Structure 1
């Protein structure tokens, strides 16, 4: 039986900590063949960075993903970009934008072809990409376009103690009440439940749905959205056979005993979802994109330009992202075989 395809790791913003995290992740994982990954980057950049950080990481340029397994125990497998990337730590340069995007495009294409088991993305710097002409709010929307996804992608943040999905993501809080619709909540819930079944091995996912207002609206006294918009969405999900319940007061959803009662929390806006998970596990949180035809995970942090090149960056979130992508791929193979 052929070995599973390796994971593809993207370069991320070269001025940030992605390169350092990649080197440190290989140091932690190289003795585990099941954790094999390759990175799409400039091998010379990573060799120079390893030397700068005094990290003992041999860099091995590979011709294709199939060479990853044979190289992984001896060195970091790198599939070379066509563009040379210098990337001075901490110094953003829009000239590197095309290399950053090329790394993502190549990783997605390899995952779509089956040559890679999934894509793990190092953090990008959206502002510098936008200055170079990038038209997307972030990674998620760009990946959806590359995959020509028929459904809207869903962002899930996960750690061992909690999974959260924000229904609305990067928008001002003042716009959330008018943007939130029953259909949006239902579609997000359906995508989430399907992904938990297929890629997380949860046969009957339990979805806890948060209210928008304090006390989930207090029967309309503190806002009408909970009864008029969110409750009908919960009822539609239940009619679909999905074990959803709510709307629940968000201030009592995230303590340890409450978390044992569900598999994922559907939250109505960005901070309602991200504050609890970053409080519970700031370093180990993973960003997972649901609803794509490929597996994609990412560390749940940014480029950390202030510490880039210093050796201080922790690889914990990248390690968690790599492990989660590998587990999702394995669960998907098992689901397909059953």
Structure 2
């Protein structure tokens, strides 16, 4: 790594000039033109977008964001929402602990802050579900605070700009220091979005477009020819595979038996099909005694820390079925497969395909 020959403020202003022309349009973003006229972002929309974007792409989030904000346009609306409604709208975005924390945070803002988000890093990080990155992003983007925003895009840009070869995650503090030196007093909110846009659209993981990059000249990795291999990462351990069984029971009228998972743990608070534990040697655990038929197909799904393979069992729901704790009968006209977590929807799709 070599010191940059260009003053950090010059680099920041060059990037802002690029952003003024090339800023991505997003439903939660106030663009640089509007911002220059005094339009300010809605902290609720910035917070919601940042929570949704964790571990997820912009393309995947847009439709969810627009549905959420149509249904719950203010944080107080979201705070008053039923848990099941929010979890249903969240289904498919994954990492369901984020949805639970979303509700907790909205309710704290509504109850303890009169529906107004704190405008400082310290105030924001004290809220449920808001960590260092999210607190910095909201305080910079929504409130124009001079906070250092460091997501995966910014890490990649900084590693290449300074030709840093120490692998992640160990190099994170160094990359944050580099990012902090470039964060300007003037327009820090626009700058935060600009450097993230740079990583997302030009300084991409593969085949970076160095020829049109506003930081082409000072980029040390471009000079050394190492951009494509940065940032380096410590190799991940192989993901284990867990097995399990999943049980789909439907009445003759088309009603379905579902089960609400415990609040804590994977898919916490979500409705799904009854099933066994997920481990290396699962035991069959049907929700009631019946002639369960092996569908002859399996659900495959990958979570953050493991791969999952589920054997699918199906049967008809008995007349006068007695519900056990946590179980629900969802009427045919109320059942929405889109409310199910992705792994549960995969099982439904297999059953539907067989019934056609």
Query: Between Structure 1 and Structure 2, which shows a larger proportion of strand residues?
Result: 1
Question: Could you say which TM-score interval applies, normalised by the shorter chain?
Answer: under 0.3
Larger Rg, first or second structure (1 or 2):
2
TM-score by length of structure 2 reads 0.25
More RCO (CA 8 Å, sep 6+) = 1
TM-score by length of structure 1 reads 0.26
